[in-house]
A and B are shown apart, each in its own frame.
Chain A
Amino acid sequence: MDSTPPLDIPLRIRLLRLLTNAWSWLFLIFIIGFFETWSWVIYDRTFFGNLYNVQSVLLTATQILMMALGLTLVIISAGIDLSIGFIAGLAAVTMAVVIRAFPELPPVLSFSMGISAGIAVALVPGMINGWLIAKLKVPSFIGTLGMFGVTRGVAFLIAGGATVSISNSTAKAFGNGKLFDVVPIPVVVAIAVTLFFHYLLKYTKFGLYTYAMGGNIQSAVRAGVNTTRITFFIYLLSAFTAALAGLFYTARFSAGAADAGEPILLNAVAAVFIGGASLTGGSGTIAGTVIGSLIIAIIQFGLVFIGMPPFWQFITVGLVIIIAVLIDQSRAKIAQSTSRPAS
């Protein structure tokens, strides 16, 4: 009765798969080596051995990562969230406006109120996204594009069309302080949030269903998964991490701007794809997104450091995105080559 062959996968395929999965790590090591070497050749000193440089890279990466964490879930579920840039801005200005409204309160209290208000307000567009996409089955691209516009308008209205500056010692300490004088506080918070998202995606049913929905929505539906509920929470979490990005901004610069997150949106999308996510959904990891965020942050900061005009960032990040997509496609081809023969 053993006519069924064992489910074996050829070694060549295994190696190729390993390589396509590991390339972002290799690429990270490559650009670290690249900038370090360049720094020694040009300036005769270290790049990554310098604490300030590392802190700056990590702070830049944190901004990208916060937006990208929730987006990773969205993209794995085969969706996209274009509204997170202005959701971050909305959170940033809400926090600043609330802190300004209570100058007589102790800074810790008005800071806490600002944070809570920022998150609460930012969750509203997240819920609307979730409702549109999960319940009304609006394609995520269109639904979140609509909310991109709405959130943008609301954020500028709240801010009164300008940057809202604040003077709050707690915010300043949070945004610019360093744990043990070494690790910036936002980086510490980002690590905690990242670990939570890693747990969520890898170790819970919620995470598993997110992957299943991205791989084959029917597989989830037939397994009795409440895909509407999962989808709703995915977009809510996306708004939540975007809000954190906005709050970090306000704390760091002592000012809330409606367009605080907008320039980071595409970098966040790029970080998720560089980290191994696929446009068609079903793949991607939090670890990958962390790597993707670091890669983009190093490119951004490194190019400035070596004295290139900042516009080279756009070109370089753009090229890296294209490489990421090409690698994703070759991965899809590997899968096809082993899958069922044409009937």
Chain B
Amino acid sequence: MNTEPILSIDDVSKRFGGVLASRNVSLDLYEGEVLALAGDNGAGKSTLIKMIAGVHQPDRGEILFRGQSIIHRSPQEVRDLGIETIYQDLALADNLDVGVNIFLGRERMKRVLGIPVLDRRTMRDEARGALKHLGIVLSDLSMPVQFLSGGQRQAIAISRAVYWQAKLIIMDEPTAALGVPEQREVKLLIKKLKAQGVAIILISHNLTDIFEVCDRILVLERGRKAGERMIGDTNEDEVVGMMMGRILDEG
């Protein structure tokens, strides 16, 4: 494993009105590592990932991505650097096909008789490749994604991130809305990404999932870091204790 962290969060705090949504949180993440971000509702998980994604700016502290400060960048700039966030709603255009969804905002064009037109064929072919890269086989990419299952849609959102060479993928509850077989598919995908050297931050309420796919877990409690453990060094009881604020490493 690389010794330089790909993402380094140093002592960030964020206040919304009277609420300290994030206080003095620090974190290092390495290539090919899967980190679970756990905590009860309102613990500050969303605030933390939105600060990484460029949606919120921290009041204090620093966030470095591959050695570069990202705290004053827009969400689009952060994405261009290689951090992709997959929110629960997936942000897929349900009425459009798989190829277009993967290329939305970065379309391929070609010229026909000198007139610029969308190159749907190329986008579809490249989408097929991107999905195959993750072990997903498609028969028909011209169907709107609304006709696909939840797990398949999740796979498309993940493929999009991978296609655009995300080095860090943040996933917000990727299995929450899925049936059991589809949860398994998504967990398989996470393992494949990890094998390809992608760093992953996984927000989840499901401790079984966390213990199955993650290397490390960071528990937040009312904005602060309750604890951080290698998965092998902890168990569900301890994690729940940290989530409830009964076990606290610092402060």
Contacts and interface: CB of A to CB of B under 8 A. Distances in A.
Contacts of A6: 137-139
A218 B91 contact: yes
B82 to A, nearest CB: 15
Contacts of B153: 340
B51 to A, nearest CB: 17
A8 B140 CA distance: 7
B96 A212 contact: yes
A340 B178 contact: yes
Contact of A339 (B96, B146, B184, B192): B146
B243 to A, nearest CB: 22
Contact of B96 (A204, A205, A211): A211
Contacts of B152: 4, 7
Nearest to B107: A205
B94 A203 contact: no
Contacts of A1: 135, 188, 192
A114 interface: no
A34 interface: no
A339 B179 contact: no
Given A208-B96, A339-B150, A343-B178, A223 B137 contact: no
Interface string B170-210: 00000011110010110011001000000000000000000
Interface in A201-253: 202-205, 208, 211-212, 214-216, 218-220, 222-225
Interface stretch (B16-24, B34-42, B97-105, B212-220): B97-105
Can you list the 8 inter-chain pairs with the closest CB atoms, starting with the nearest? A340-B150, A223-B105, A215-B95, A282-B95, A203-B117, A215-B93, A219-B93, A223-B104
26 contacts: A1-B192, A2-B135, A4-B136, A4-B137, A4-B152, A4-B155, A7-B98, A7-B139, A8-B139, A199-B117, A204-B117, A211-B95, A211-B96, A212-B95, A216-B93, A216-B95, A219-B92, A220-B104, A224-B76, A282-B95, A283-B95, A335-B144, A339-B147, A339-B149, A340-B153, A340-B177
Interface of B: 75-76, 79, 87, 89, 91-96, 98, 100-101, 104-107, 109, 115-118, 135-141, 143-144, 146-153, 155, 176-179, 182, 184-185, 188-189, 192
